[in-house]
Amino acid sequence: KLNYSGSVLCDERTTLCIRTRNEKFEMASCASSTPLECKEKHNNKCPPLPKDGPHVCCCKEDNCNKGAA
């Protein structure tokens, strides 16, 4: 479970996807390097929004919009 704390790092080639409870979609630039656990786990797409709050996922930018649709 990943909650956005402002310290989530993504691979430099990816974009951070942030989805909120009201389905608003935001994107933030990623810092340089981190384990790609989230990106690999979710196949480079943002996961479904959990019931209990915001969810963050590292994903390729061209897939972020698809994941938020």
| Interval 5-50: pLDDT, tens | 444 445 455 555 555 444 444 444 333 333 344 445 544 455 555 5
Structural tokens at position 54: 């915001």
pTM of the model: 0.23
The helix (H) or strand (E) run that includes residue 66 is: helix 61-68
CB atoms under 10 Å from CB of 1, counted, come to 7
